[in-house]
Amino acid sequence: MLTQVHTMDTLRDSVQTSVKIGIFSSERTSSYSHVFKSELVRFPLSKCKDLRNFDPTRLTKDPYPKEDRPRGQDDLSSVMYHRRKIQQYGETDPIWIAGKGGDFTLLDGAHRIVATYLENKRTILAYVVWVD
């Protein structure tokens, strides 16, 4: 079950990240593309290791060793939250990816990717924002 509030939060985070890392020049152009140039797809989890802006070493059975947690305990808590959603509903909220040609950049959803990996899923719901 996807929650509208969480989806709006991830949209906002995705827009801000896409500007911060230089995919879009402003939140206005980013927002426009997120709304009008995106599509919801089932993204193969196997392709997540090739995402820009994502550390593929997180796709292990111990994705956040104690000495390598950027957000401390919050990293593990977030992964566990999304794992529970997957266990209860079969999936969690979609991640956000920018796509240009055959290249993809993660905009929002690293913990959701890790949770999906730990739950042995093959795909993850993703909004792909197509960049011209």
Q: Is the pLDDT of residue 2 over 60?
A: no
| pLDDT score, position 126 | 96
pTM: predicted TM-score of the whole model, two decimal places: 0.87
Q: What is the pLDDT of residues 65-101, one digit of tens each?
A: 555 655 556 678 888 999 999 999 999 999 999 999 8
| pLDDT score, position 6 | 60
Tell me the pairing of strands 123-130 and 95-100: parallel
Average pLDDT for residues 45-51, to the nearest whole number?
Answer: 95
How far is it, in rounded angstroms, from Cα 40 to Cα 26? Answer: 23
Could you tell me which residue, 69 or 55, shows the higher pLDDT? 55
Cα distances (angstroms) measured from residue 14 to each of 18, 30, 50, 73, 128: 6, 9, 18, 23, 11
- For 109-128, letters b (16+ CB in 10 Å) and e give bbbbbbbbbbbebeebbbbb
How far is it, in rounded angstroms, from Cα 110 to Cα 102? Answer: 20
CATH code of the domain occupying 4-130: 3.90.1530
Average pLDDT for residues 36-58, to the nearest whole number?
Answer: 94
